[in-house]
């Protein structure tokens, strides 16, 4: 008998579901039900979190003031993925961008679409394009598309 090791390969799919929490549920419900983007403001330092955060990451206070933010913003950074996206089943190429929405204190990681990936630029103004059928998840924003295109 040979001493060589044998390996069996396969792939398992592990469905899961967990509660988004009070803050996450409020954020996702507003997105699903009204195509509205809301963040939370820290009363200590004034930073606005989008998606909404329960506590400030800077000064650790409860960020409990809800503020609506714009669904348009600026591309701060991006990368182009040319391999299949196994998590969301998106066909490559997929452009992932950090988008600073008007009124937000940080960037939101999301998909940039409706544009040739080679035409995406830092500083580009983009607007949320909503999924027709929304289910209470961040991909209820289908992607962010360049403004005016």
| Site of interaction with Zn ion (CB under 5 A) | 42, 44-45, 56, 58-59
DSSP code per residue over 52-112: --SB-TTT--B--EEEEE-SEEEEEEEEEE-S-BTTTTBPSPEEEEEEEETT-SS-EEEEE
CA angle 64, 105, 38 (to 5 degrees): 50
Q: Give the nearer residue to Zn ion in terms of CB position, either 48 or 56.
A: 56
Q: Please, what is the minimum distance in Å from the beta carbon of residue 45 to Zn ion?
A: 3
Q: Please, what is the minimum distance in Å from the beta carbon of residue 57 to Zn ion?
A: 8
Q: Please, what is the minimum distance in Å from the beta carbon of residue 102 to Zn ion?
A: 20
Q: Give the nearer residue to Zn ion in terms of CB position, either 23 or 140.
A: 23
Q: Give the nearer residue to Zn ion in terms of CB position, either 61 or 137.
A: 61
């Amino acid at each position: 008998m040979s001493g060589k090791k044998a390996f069996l390969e396969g792939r398992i799919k592990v469905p899961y579901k967990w509660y988004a929490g009070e803050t996450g549920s409020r954020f996702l419900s507003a997105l699903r039900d009204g195509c509205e983007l809301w963040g939370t403001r820290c009363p200590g330092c004034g930073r606005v979190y989008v998606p909404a955060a329960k506590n400030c990451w800077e000064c650790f206070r409860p960020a409990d003031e809800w503020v609506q933010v714009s669904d348009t913003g600026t591309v701060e950074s991006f990368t182009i993925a040319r391999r299949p996206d196994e998590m969301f089943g998106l066909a490559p190429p997929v452009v992932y961008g950090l988008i600073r929405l008007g009124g937000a204190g940080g960037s939101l990681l999301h998909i940039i679409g409706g544009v040739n990936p080679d035409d995406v630029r830092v500083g580009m103004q983009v607007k949320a394009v909503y999924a027709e059928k929304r289910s209470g998840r961040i991909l209820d924003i289908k992607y962010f598309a360049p403004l005016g295109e």
